[in-house]
C-alpha cells in the first residue's frame, strides 16, 4: 500500500485570493502546511496538487524554489486532478490535505492512515452529530481515500460537488465503505483554524504569534485560557456561519 499526502492548493480562492502564499510565520501558509504534512508518515514526500491555470504559476514557482514535488491538472475538476496525480505517482492511498489549513494536525492524520483497512474506501473523522469533520472549519483534519475508490467515483455519474470537493461522493454514497473515527473529546465543535476569510487570516497569524507551530491540542489548550484569542475565533466563526446562511 503506497501512500502519499496530496496538498490541494490554488491561488484563485473566491473569498481570499492568493491566501496559500500569504505570509505566515517565517514563510507562507503553504510552507506551514507542507512542513506539517511532511510529518505524516507516508511512502512519498507530500505532493502539492494545483491547477494548470496561469494564476497557479505562482504556486509552481514556489514549489520549484522549495524543491517540493508538484502536480498540475484541472482547475474545476479537482477530483480528476487528484486521480491523475495519484495514478501518475503510483499512489494507492491518498492523504488529502487542504492548503488553507496551517494547523492541520499530523498526529490526527496519522491515526487515520493506520485505521483504513482493506475493505475501506475512505477514512475520516466525524463530529458527535455525525458530520464529516472535513466539512467543518476546524482546519486540523486530513482525510484518507483509496485511489481505486476515487477512480470509481470519477467514472461514475459524479456531480459538481464530487468534482470540486474530491471525497464528497465517497462519504455521501452508500456504495463506498467508510471508516469513521470520532473527533477527540478535547476538540471543541466550535474550533475554527481554517483560513477562508481575511478575518481568519488575521486570527491565524495571531495564533501563530502566540502558539507557533503547535499541535492542535496545544492550540485548543491556549484558546481555553486566552479569552481575547478565543473571542477572535468566535468572531471568525460567526462571519463564516453568516456567509454560509446568506
Q: Torsion-angle region of residue 60: left (phi > 0), alpha (psi -120 to 50) or beta?
A: alpha
Q: How many CA atoms lie within 13 A of 235 on its CB side?
A: 13
- CA dihedral over 209, 214, 216, 221, signed as positive or negative: negative
Q: What is the predicted pLDDT for the residue at 74? A: 96
Cβ atoms within 10 A of the Cβ of 108, count? 22
Q: What local confidence, expressed as pLDDT, does residue 72 receive?
A: 98
Is residue 32 a contact partner of residue 100, using CB atoms and an 8 Å limit?
A: no
As a whole number of angstroms, the distance between CA 133 and CA 125 comes to: 5
Q: Which of 149, 173, 153 lies closest to 163 in space, CA to CA?
A: 153
Distance CA 32, CA 23 (A): 10
Question: What pLDDT score was predicted for residue 196?
Answer: 96
The whole-number pLDDT of residue 69 equals: 98
CA atoms lying within 13 Å on the CB side of residue 217 = 7
The whole-model pTM stands at 0.96
pLDDT for residue 180: 96
Whole-number pLDDT of residue 115: 84
Tell me 244's DSSP state: H
* pLDDT computed for residue 78 by the predictor: 97
Contact 10, 50 (CB under 8 A): yes
> Which pLDDT value is given to residue 246?
76
Can you list the residues of the chain whose pLDDT is less than 70?
A: none
Provide the grid cell at 120.
475501506
Amino acid at each position: 500500500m503506497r501512500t502519499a499526502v496530496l496538498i490541494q492548493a490554488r491561488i484563485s480562492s473566491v473569498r481570499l485570493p492568493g491566501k496559500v502564499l500569504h505570509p505566515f510565520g517565517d514563510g507562507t501558509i503553504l510552507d506551514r502546511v507542507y512542513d506539517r504534512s511532511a510529518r505524516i508518515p507516508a511512502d512519498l514526500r507530500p505532493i502539492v496538487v494545483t491547477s494548470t491555470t496561469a494564476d497557479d504559476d505562482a504556486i509552481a514557482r514556489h514549489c520549484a524554489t522549495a524543491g517540493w514535488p508538484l502536480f498540475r491538472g484541472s482547475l474545476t475538476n479537482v477530483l480528476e486532478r487528484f486521480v491523475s496525480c495519484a495514478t501518475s505517482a503510483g499512489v494507492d492511498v491518498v492523504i488529502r490535505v487542504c492548503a488553507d489549513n496551517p494547523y492541520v494536525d499530523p498526529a490526527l492524520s496519522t491515526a487515520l492512515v493506520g485505521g483504513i483497512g482493506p475493505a475501506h474506501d475512505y477514512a475520516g473523522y466525524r463530529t458527535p452529530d455525525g458530520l464529516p469533520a472535513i466539512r467543518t472549519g476546524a482546519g486540523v483534519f486530513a482525510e484518507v481515500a483509496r485511489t481505486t475508490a476515487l477512480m470509481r467515483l470519477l467514472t461514475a455519474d459524479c456531480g459538481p460537488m464530487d468534482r470540486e470537493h474530491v471525497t464528497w461522493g465517497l462519504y455521501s454514497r452508500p456504495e463506498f465503505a467508510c471508516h469513521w473515527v470520532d473527533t477527540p473529546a478535547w476538540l471543541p465543535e466550535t474550533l475554527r483554524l481554517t483560513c477562508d476569510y481575511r478575518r481568519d487570516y488575521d486570527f491565524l497569524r495571531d495564533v501563530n504569534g502566540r502558539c507557533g507551530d503547535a499541535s492542535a491540542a496545544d492550540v485548543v489548550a491556549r484558546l481555553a485560557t486566552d479569552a481575547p484569542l478565543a473571542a477572535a475565533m468566535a468572531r471568525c466563526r460567526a462571519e463564516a456561519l453568516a456567509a454560509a446562511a446568506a
